[in-house]
Amino acid sequence: MKKSIRDVEVTGKKVLVRVDFNVPLDPKTNEIMDDSRIIASLPTIWYLIEHKAKIILCSHLGRPNGRVVESMRLTPVAERLSQLINMPIHTVSDCIGPRVKQAIDKLKNGEILLLENLRFYPEEEANDSAFARALAENADIYVNDAFGTAHRAHASTYGVAKYLPAYAGLLLEKELRVLDNLLTNPQRPFVALLGGAKVSDKIKLLDNLLNKVDTLLIGGGMANTFLSAQGFGTGLSAVEEDKKELAKQLMANAKSSGILLVLPLDVIVADTVDENSKFAIAPVSMIPANKYIVDIGPQTVELFTENLKKCSTVFWNGPLGVYEIPAFSRGTRKMAELLANLNATTVVGGGSTAEIVNEMNLAYRMTHVSTGGGASLSFLEGKILPGVQVLQDE
């Protein structure tokens, strides 16, 4: 494991904290639509306030592609953070340079400065060493609490650790502990529920989890390729033809390892993938050639429910239908509600899956909702995360 902020004296020190404040903004009002990532960073921020550090927060927001985009400034984030912790947040209109140095020099112990969007500089994503040094030069200690970007080797997540002693924040520490526990010491039976659009996005995850789980439930668009590999038609829905052999191999490996791999028994099919479309239930053996698969069917919901009710640990990643369209979100919603009521360790992968449980106001009933989609998948694939690798070892 890595050293955390608990392992270093922070009082009176200037602490540069990489947070993940990449929150969704309403395109019309520029108001924050989901503040769960800001809330997730609060334990680290409170710790540093209580231990009287001088706190310098830095984050990216959106994809400004290395230029200043007014609608991607961190002003709404500063306002929301100020409301959440009930104290003023100092801001500055840059993230490096003389203005930033002046603002940091004015900081008193326990005060917070939020720097401007890191990705206004192309050097951030390029992991430019001069940019990393400029970020580091006004601080004594570096803390990474941005699990959502820990799988990226950017200047603020990787390069800066060359110039400062680097530690994990409390959120990053928790993410690593929970996800590592899934891979090394889950309470059994351990079930993985996987959805999302493509098998190709989750090949390495499927491969790595196959040796770890007792049961694998597969839904969403990725199930189409498995169904097609079994000889079923999938109507107008996309199948990754080049991944069918892999799907067959995964099913064979699961069988020989005594792992239960469960695919849909029935699906919801629709004429078109939009809100006004007519839809019906079809068994997987009779999917009409002129229709799209848009969700798992009621029999599949029942089958998945039976398997999940027996589990002691569950990891869920990926919606099980076209979740954005209310009529096709039933399967996904049923699974979210079930997980929220299970007497088990429930771990939700980040990205769209986290957005779903946050939107349904069920996150507080899960054991852990990851703040990183790509990062949680990379970790569970067995990859080393660059933003974690550079932190000091215990």
Backbone angles phi, psi at 199, to 5 degrees: -65, -40
Catalytic residue among 133, 198, 248, 365: 198
**Which tokens hold the place of 181?**
């526990």
* Burial status of residue 211 (CB atoms within 10 A of its CB: 0-12, 13-18, 19 or more): exposed
66 is catalytic: no
Q: Distance between CA atoms of 307 and 262, rounded to whole angstroms?
A: 9
Are residues 167 and 143 in contact, defined by beta-carbon separation less than 8 angstroms?
Answer: yes
Q: Distance between CA atoms of 82 and 110, rounded to whole angstroms?
A: 14
**Which tokens hold the place of 136?**
């580091």
CB count within 10 Å of CB 382 equals 12
18 is catalytic: no
Q: Distance between CA atoms of 52 and 14, rounded to whole angstroms?
A: 10
Q: Distance between CA atoms of 363 and 372, rounded to whole angstroms?
A: 14
CA 325 centroid distance within chain: 22
Classify residue 5 by its DSSP letter.
G
Q: Which residues contact 160 (CB under 8 A, 6 or more apart)?
A: 16, 18, 132, 135, 136, 142, 166
28 is catalytic: no
Catalytic residue among 350, 351, 372, 387: 351
Backbone angles phi, psi at 229, to 5 degrees: -65, -25
67 is catalytic: no
Are residues 317 and 353 in contact, defined by beta-carbon separation less than 8 angstroms?
Answer: yes
* CA torsion angle 231 232 238 242 (round to 10): -10
List the catalytic residues.
37, 198, 351, 374
